[in-house]
Amino acid sequence: MTDGFGLLLGAHPMIEKLQLSVPEIILFVAAVIVMVIGLSPRVQLRQLCGWVAGIALLAAAFAALLSPDSPNALLPDLIPFGKTLIAVIGVLLVMLVGGAADREYEAAVARGRVFDGIRSTRGEFYAFFLFSMMGLMLCTSADDLIWIFLALELTSLPTYVMVSISTSRSKSQEAGVKYFFLGAFGAAMFLYGFALLYGATGSTLLVDIAASFDSGINPMGMLGLIMALVGVSFKIAAVPMHFYTPDVYEGAATSVSAFLAFVPKAAGFFVLILLLATVGWTHGADENALPDAVRVTLWLMAAATMTVGNVMALLQTNVKRILAYSSIAHSGYMLVGLLAGPGGGAATNGLGAVLFYLMCYGFMNLGAFAVLACLERRPGMEVEDVDDLRGLCRRQPLLGGVMVLCSLSMLGLPPLLGLWGKLYLFTSAISAGEIAIVVIMGINSAIAAFYYLRLMAYPMLEDPTERSAELKVTPFAGRIIAGAISAASVVLLVIPADALLQRCNDAAQLGDVARRAIAEAERNEQPPAPVASDDRVADADRPR
C-alpha cells in the first residue's frame, strides 16, 4: 500500500511532469483570471490585469527556483535556470507593455462612452502574453519532439494576435498577417523535419534519439535535423527565415516589439540547444565535433545572419528597424556559440556562452526598446525616426542615460555586460578552432559599432531639434521603471558575471539518463572481445 502510494506521488512520469510544470500552471491560472477581469465594466478591475500578470510571473520565478530534479530530461539543469530567467525578464516585459492594448478605447470610455466588453481587448492581450510565456517555459523542459512542437506553437501563436491588436493602426494588422503566414511556413518546415527524425529513429523522445544517433546518423535523420534547424531559425530571426523581422517590429507597438525580440528568440535557442544535444558534440573523430552537414549549415547561417543584420541596420533611419536588424545580428552571434559546442571549461563552453548572452541580450535590448516606448509625439504616435533621439539626454536625462548604456552594452563596450557576453562567445569559438567564424564575428562587431554609436551619440552629444523637442513622455511609469532596471542590470550584473556564466554552463550539461543511454548504445555497438581457445591459453601459459 505504501509502495503504491509512493509510486502514485513521486515515480509516475505524469506526476513528475506536473511537478516540473508548476510555474506554467501558475501562469495558466493567471491567464484565466485576467481574461475574466478584463471583461469587467469597472475600470479599476480592468487595470489589475497587468498586476495579476506581474505577480504570477514573480510566483513562477520562485516556483522555478524550487523545481525538483528531473533526471529523465536531456538537459535537466536547463529547466530551473531557463524558467527563472524567463520569469525575471517577463516581469520587466509586463511593466513595459502597460498601455499597449486598449489605450484609445479606454480613453473613449473615460470620456463617457458606454463600455462594451466585445470591444475591450485588455484581458485577451495579457492572457496571450501569459500563454506565450508559458510556451517559452515549456520549451526548457521539453523531452520529446511532440512537446517541442506544442511549446513552440504556444509561444508563437499568441504573438500573432498581440501584434495585430497592439495598436489601432492598419500597419499593425498588416504586420500581424505577415508574421502569421511566415510563422506557419516555418512551423510546417520544422514539423516535417521532426517527422523525418521520428522516421529515422523510431522515437520522439530526445534521449532515445541521442542514443540512436550515437552510432551515426542516417540520411533521413540528417535531412530531418537540418530541416528542423532551418524551420526553428524563424523563431530566432536567422537567415534565411528573417524577412519578417523589420516589418513586424515596425508595425507592432514598441513594447510588443520588445516582447518579440526576446520571447520567440529565447524559445528558438532553447530548442536548438536541445536538438543539437541529441546529435552533436559527442560524436565523430573529435569529441566535441558536430556532424559535418550540421556544422556547415550552422556556419553558413551564423555568418549570413550577423552580416545581413549588421549591414542592413546601417541603411536604416527608422530606429525600430535598426533594432530589428540588430536583433537578427545578435542571433548570428549566438549561433557561433552553438557551433562551438560545450567545450572543456567554463570560459570555453559555447552552450553556456549562448545562455549567458541570451540573458545579456534580454536586459540590454529591453532597455533600448523601453526608451522608445516611453516617448511619443502624441498618444499612439511613437518614436520612429532616429533623429527623434537628438538631445534626449538634455531633455530627459534618465531616458537618455538608459539608451546610452544599453546601446554601448549591445556594442560590447567595456566594462558593460555586453562585453562579457561577446567575450565568452569569442573564447568558446576560438577554443573550438572556428577561427574563420571568429574573424567574421569580429568584423561584424566593428560594423555594428557605427549604428550603435549613432544611437549613443544622438541622445548624448547632439542638441535637441524642433522635431525632437515635441516628444513627450508617456504616462505609464512602468515603462520608465523597466528601462531603468535594464540599464542598471547591464552595469551591476558585471560583478557576478563569472558566477552567472558557471550557472549557464551547468544548465547546458547532459543529464544522467542521457549519458547512460548513450553509453549503453556505445556498448551495444562494440563487437565482442575475441575469446582465446584452450590451445592458445595453454600456449600462453607454457614457459618460454
Task: Assess if residue 531 is contained within a domain.
Answer: no
Q: What is the pLDDT of residue 45?
A: 86
Cα–Cα distance, 437 to 333 (Å, whole number): 10
- In which domain, by residue range, is 461 found? 17-526
Residue 286 has pLDDT above 80, yes or no: no
**What's the rounded mean pLDDT across residues 186-199?**
92
Of the ranges 132-136, 209-213, 512-516, the best mean pLDDT one: 132-136
Q: How far is CA 347 from the centre of its chain?
A: 21
Cell representation of residue 496:
557576478
Residue 81 counted as domain residue: yes
pLDDT at 341: 83
pLDDT at 263 over 90: yes
Cell of 36: 475574466
Closest CA to 366 of 332, 414, 431, 417: 417
Q: Which of 26-30, 111-115, 290-294, 366-370 is the least confident region? A: 111-115
- The set of residues, in sequence order, having a beta carbon less than 8 Å from that of 518 and lying 6+ positions away, is 210, 211, 214, 282, 510
Give residue 511's pLDDT band: very low, low, confident or very high (50, 70, 90).
Answer: low
Q: Judge whether 30 lies within some domain.
A: yes
Residue 112, Ramachandran bin (φ over 0: left; ψ between -120 and 50: alpha; else beta): left
Q: What residues does 472 pair with on adjacent strands?
A: 376
How many helices and strands, by DSSP H and E, does the chain display?
26, 3
How far lies 373's CA from each of 158, 165, 275, in Å?
21, 16, 35
Torsion of CA 182, 188, 191, 193, to 10 degrees: -100
d(C-alpha 285, C-alpha 55), whole Å:
50
The whole model's pTM is what? 0.90
Short-list 341, 331, 230, 335, CA closest to 290: 341
Task: For residue 198, give every residue at least 6 positions away whose Cβ sits within 8 Å of its Cβ, in sequence order, or none.
Answer: 145, 204, 224
Q: Which DSSP state fits 523?
A: H
The answer as to whether 12 is a domain residue is no
Q: What is the pLDDT of residue 209?
A: 87
> What pLDDT does residue 518 have?
62
State the virtual CA torsion across 236, 240, 279, 435 in degrees, nearest 10. Answer: -90
Least confident of 5-14, 81-90, 157-166: 5-14
Number of folded domains that form the chain: 1
Cell 548513450 locates to 518
Q: Does 539 fall in a domain?
A: no
CA distance between the termini of the chain: 67
Distances (CA, A) of 170 to 167, 173, 180, 244, 408: 8, 5, 15, 17, 34
Inside any domain, residue 537: no
Answer yes or no: is 6 within a domain: no
Domain assignment present for residue 5? The answer is: no
Query: Using 50, 70 and 90 to split pLDDT, how confident is the model at 516?
Result: low
pLDDT at 438 over 60: yes
Q: How would residue 301 be classed by pLDDT, with cut points 50, 70 and 90?
A: very high
Q: What is the CA radius of gyration of the chain?
A: 25
Give me the percent of the chain exceeding a pLDDT of 90.
49
